[in-house]
């Protein structure tokens, strides 16, 4: 594709959707299985509840939650599945290693014209996938993209580790992204992505990939479940979320006071409050769902976006900043003017 084309097009979100499993897991219920309490969890994380997929229930597979969120986003955009050119599915908890969860979703919604692939950037995945869709659309290689962020982290949670099992929930969010003129005011304005593989040890799942088979011994040691260094992760998140928010604003010559809404990744409410304070941004303009759903990994940002588009809080012309961090480590931000 020629570089001239790259100057002709931009992309904008025209539909949003989200979906969560039925089963709610309260702090009280968790405190019956590990040594914790409702008060500790609320004070230290801001989480009240999370929704957990029933393992083995086909309606609550990762791709099923993704398909429901995608169907809702397509309805809002007024698009049929066969009009989609590409499906980018952000997840670190795929249905199966092969085929990709994107292909499972394609089959479920009947998006027969699309090409489909997964993107794994852990909790940053949705912003990485949305930035990728934006690039394909800007170069004219796609007109309509379906971008999903969906994770079933409960399948990889060590339910006997109180420092991590209190944090996570399952869910999915999706957006339809369409081509618009590069002169359009309402579009994706910029994206900044980064990774630091040196920090792999802060959050990882050692076994279950091609390096390490899940033997009975590995299983007993829970090495096929997530291992997290919470305090280090916390510090890194505060620094990088702040850094990438500033990058997005500076590259668009925007002052923080010109931002209408801030949607950060949600791993702990105290991380979000610390970032808002550093940015000097009021908490009442930070959109959250961590209180009700916990950390839903790549689903967090699109599900918060969906909730606030549907409630009418996010209005055409509003400037919205998406800001993420995750295992890898991965970091990124994406600034958009709502369509
Ligand atoms: O995308 C996701 C990546 N993950 C993150 O970003 C996680 C970020 N980190 C965090 O959210 C927090 O560090 C945690 C919630 C994991 C831990 O909170 P904290 O305030 O940093 O607690 P801490 O690790 O400093 O532990 C303080 C105390 C310890 O007890 P002692 O050693 O002081 O006696 C912990 O054992 O709190 C204890 N503790 C708990 N107590 C009750 C840790 N977890 C729990 C718990 N219930 N669930």
Q: For residue 4, what pLDDT is reported?
A: 40
* Percent of the residues in the chain that have a pLDDT greater than 70, as a whole number: 98
pLDDT band at 149 (very low <50, low <70, confident <90, very high): very high
Pull the structure tokens for residue 149.
């962020």
Q: For residue 5, what pLDDT is reported?
A: 43
pLDDT band at 339 (very low <50, low <70, confident <90, very high): confident
Give the mean pLDDT of the chain: 96
Q: For residue 185, what pLDDT is reported?
A: 87
**177, pLDDT greater than 70:** yes
Name the residue of 25, 37, 44 whose CB sits within 8 Å of the most ligand 1 atoms, as the mutation to test its pocket: 44
The residues, ordered by sequence, that sit 6+ positions from 155 with a Cβ below 8 Å of its Cβ are 53, 55, 93
State the Cα torsion 303-92-79-12 to the nearest 10°.
Answer: 70
Pocket residues: Cβ below 6 A from ligand 1: 36, 40, 44-45, 123, 162-163, 166, 203, 228, 230-231, 233-234, 237, 267-268, 295, 326
Hey, what CATH class is 2-180 in? alpha beta
Pull the structure tokens for residue 229.
């260094």
- Mean pLDDT within 160-167: 96
* For the chain, domain boundaries: 2-180, 188-337
Of 4-8, 96-100, 126-130, where does mean pLDDT reach its minimum?
4-8
More reliable by pLDDT, 7 or 236: 236
Question: Three-class SS of residue 18?
Answer: strand
CA distance 99 to 116: 10
* Residue 20 near residue 171, CB atoms below 8 Å: yes
Q: What atom in ligand 1 is closest to the CA of residue 30?
A: 48
Q: For residue 91, what pLDDT is reported?
A: 98
Q: For residue 3, what pLDDT is reported?
A: 37
- Mean pLDDT within 173-182: 96
- Whether 123 sits among the annotated catalytic residues: the reply is yes
Q: Is the peptide bond before 329 cis (omega within 30 degrees of 0)?
A: yes
- Mean pLDDT within 97-119: 98
Residue 56 burial (C-beta neighbours within 10 Å; 0-12, 13-18, 19+)? exposed
**103, pLDDT greater than 80:** yes
pLDDT in tens, 225-269: 999 999 999 999 999 999 999 999 999 999 999 999 999 999 999
pLDDT band at 1 (very low <50, low <70, confident <90, very high): very low
DSSP H or E stretch at residue 152: none
DSSP H or E stretch at residue 71: helix 62-77
Q: For residue 7, what pLDDT is reported?
A: 63
Name the residue of 33, 121, 126, 163 whose CB sits within 8 Å of the most ligand 1 atoms, as the mutation to test its pocket: 163
Task: Residues 188-337: name the CATH superfamily.
Answer: Thiolase/Chalcone synthase (3.40.47.10)
* Residue located nearest, by CA, to atom 11 of ligand 1: 268
């Amino acid at each position: 594709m020629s570089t001239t084309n790259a100057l002709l097009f931009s992309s904008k979100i025209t539909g949003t959707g989200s979906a969560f499993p039925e089963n709610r897991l309260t702090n009280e219920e968790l405190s019956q299985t590990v040594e914790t309490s409702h008060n500790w969890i609320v004070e230290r994380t801001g989480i009240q509840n999370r929704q957990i997929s029933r393992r083995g229930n086909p309606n609550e597979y990762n791709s099923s939650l993704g398909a429901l969120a995608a169907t809702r986003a397509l309805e809002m955009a007024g698009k049929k599945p066969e009009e989609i050119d590409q499906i980018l599915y952000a997840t670190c908890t795929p249905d199966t290693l092969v085929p990709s969860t994107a292909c499972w979703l394609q089959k479920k919604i009947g998006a027969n014209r699309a090409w489909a692939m997964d993107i794994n950037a852990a909790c940053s995945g949705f912003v990485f996938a949305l930035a990728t869709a934006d690039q394909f659309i800007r170069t004219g290689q796609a007109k309509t993209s379906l971008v999903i962020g969906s994770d079933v982290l409960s399948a990889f949670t060590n339910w006997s580790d109180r420092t991590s099992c209190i944090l996570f929930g399952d869910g999915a969010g999706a957006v339809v992204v369409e081509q618009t003129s590069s002169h359009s005011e309402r579009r994706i304005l910029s994206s900044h992505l980064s990774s630091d593989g040196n920090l792999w040890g802060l959050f990882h799942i050692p076994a279950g990939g091609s390096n390490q088979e899940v033997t009975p011994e590995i299983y007993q040691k829970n090495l096929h479940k997530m291992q997290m260094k919470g305090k280090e992760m916390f510090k890194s998140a505060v620094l990088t979320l702040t850094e990438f928010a500033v990058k997005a604003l500076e590259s668009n010559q925007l002052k923080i006071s010109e931002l209408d809404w801030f949607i950060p990744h949600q791993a702990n409410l105290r991380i979000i409050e610390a970032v808002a304070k550093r940015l000097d941004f009021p908490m009442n303009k930070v959109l959250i769902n961590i209180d009700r759903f916990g950390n839903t990994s790549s689903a967090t940002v699109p599900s918060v976006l969906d909730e606030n588009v549907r409630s009418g809080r996010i209005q055409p012309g509003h400037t919205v900043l998406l800001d993420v961090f995750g295992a890898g480590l991965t970091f990124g931000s994406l600034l958009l003017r709502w369509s």
